[in-house]
Structure 1
Amino acid sequence: MTGTLVNVATVIAGSLLGIMFRHRLPRRVVTVVFHGIGLFTIGLGVSMFQESQWIIVVVLALLFGGITGGAIRLEERIEGLSESLKHKFRFQDERFTEGLITAFLLFCMGSLTILGAIDEGVGNGPELLITKAVLDGFAAMALSAAMGIGVLFSIVPLLVYQGGITLLSMWLGNFFAEQVVNELTATGGVLLIGLGINILKLGKIKVTDLLPALLFVVLFAWMKYINLFPFSLF
């Protein structure tokens, strides 16, 4: 868990610095940074989607994930939780939820996150995650300057998700085969494209309702990997 704890620390430091700069930067500068983050998010999402080898797995994961997220009204529930946190801590940030979700997906959906967590879990050391931690620290600074304190709170899902993969790797060994990691990365990339569209105000995609796709894609990719996937023609 060393790599994840270092990652959490760099995100905290970067977020705090970004929040400090946010109130000192002209509004037009923050807007330009915001647009840059949106474009970067879309570009990163496209590059991550290209990792997919089994596109049908990603499509079905998004389908089942969207049905599940919509049925349980996941976006409404998370927004309600975010509003409760804002009220409890007296935050006045309009982009609290957007900052939290955007930061979580940016920090957690890349191959480096999964491979680094697995690498540490199987005993190869935290070097990959420490490298990622440095990058995330700078990213957190830019994100929080544009989106506010919600970015700081992304350390909670970051700790649970990345740390959880490390712990699972310690117990399950090679469960996260390369093909499974690729499809998880590709699905995260699609969600990032949706986020980028929202950030640039090109549309309103309920990305939060699609988050269960990240669970379904692991299930479907693993079934495909061990030849239990029902759509054998794809």
Structure 2
Amino acid sequence: MLGPYVNGVSVLAGSLGGAMLGSRLSKNLRNRMPMVFGCASMGLGVAMIVKVKSLPPMVLALVLGSILGELVHLETGVQKIAAKTRKLIEKISKPSGDLSHDEFLEKFVAIMVLFCVSGTGIFGAMSEGMTGDPTLLIVKAILDLFTSAIFAASLGYTVATLVVPQFAIQAALYFGAAFIMPLATPAMVADFSACGGLIMLATGFRICGIKQFAVANMIPSLFLVMPLSALWAKYMG
């Protein structure tokens, strides 16, 4: 297992470097580069959405997953953890950036989704688990190095804590790939990709400040889409 470690180190290094530089980075760079990252997220999302095999189960998974996320207040929970983590870190380090509390939470949740449940990370980890090839995660690591540095310049050292859930998710997918992939059909994988693409598209809108989708509440959709896709193919396909 190489990719999850490389990706984790890149996020950690970028976050620490960006937080240390803080306001010394150009304000234009700190303000404009997240727009570029948001645009890239939307582009990758669209590229994943067009892979969809069956629209009904994918849309149903997104709707049911989002309802589940709303019912358990998933985004609110993530925001509370982020706020507590920020306070803890700022007790031992100088606060970075000039974002308000609400702005901090909005951006933190968006980059958490971008780092932890992006299509590149999910498929990269599963691909390495099945083939031993870490290429996709290494490519993601290069992008995450710069992304984490720019966001950490505004959000501070809290961004570095995202290494923990990111590594846990990628490691679980890496070891679980041997069990998941033999049960998954190409159609199920395509619908899974499309569902993740919709979440990445919403994340891009959020990062760019166009529309504040509750992207964390959409995450349960990823656990529902493959079973629903399989049931659709069996009974409706």
Normalised to the residue count of structure 2, the TM-score between the two structures is 0.81
Q: Of residues 129, 148, 162 in structure 2, which corresponds to 1:154?
A: 162
CA RMSD of aligned residues (A): 2.6
1:167 aligns with 2:186: no
Map 1:1-234 to 2 at 5 A. 1-90=1-90, 92=95, 94=101, 95-122=103-130, 124-145=132-153, 147-172=155-180, 174-224=182-232, 227-228=233-234, 230=235, 232=236
Aligned length: 229
Q: Deviations over 1:126-164 (max 9, x none)?
A: 344334323332332334345544432221221121111
- Would you tell me which structure has more helix in proportion to its own residues? 2
SS at match of 1:23: helix
C-alpha distance in 2 between matches for 1:33 and 1:130: 21
Compute the displacement of 1:114 (Å): 3.4
Change over 3 Å in CA distance of 1:156–1:182 after alignment to 2: farther
Q: Give the % identical residues.
A: 28
- Residue 57 of structure 1 contacts residue 220 of structure 1 at CA under 8 Å; is this kept in 2? yes
Of stretches 211-220 and 59-68 in structure 1, the one that deviates more from structure 2 is 211-220
Contact 1:109-1:185 at 8 Å conserved across structures = no
Structure 1 residues without counterparts, runs of 5 or longer: none
Distance 1:78 1:128, change over 3 A: closer
* TM-aligned CA deviation for residue 223 of structure 1: 3.3
CA 1:33–1:131 in structure 2 vs 1: closer, same or farther (change >3 Å)?
closer
4+ runs of 1 displaced by more than 4 Å? Answer: 108-111
Q: Structure 1's 188 and 125: CA in aligned 2 closer, same or farther, altered over 3 A?
A: closer
Q: Which amino acid aligns with 1:213?
A: S
Offset at residue 70 of structure 1 (A): 1.1
Counterparts of 2:210 and 2:40, CA distance in 1:
15
Give how far 1:172 is off: 4.6
Secondary structure, aligned partner of 1:204: coil
The answer to whether the Cα contact below 8 Å between 1:4 and 1:162 also exists between their aligned partners in 2 is yes
In the aligned structure 2, how far is the partner of 1:111 from the partner of 1:201?
A: 21
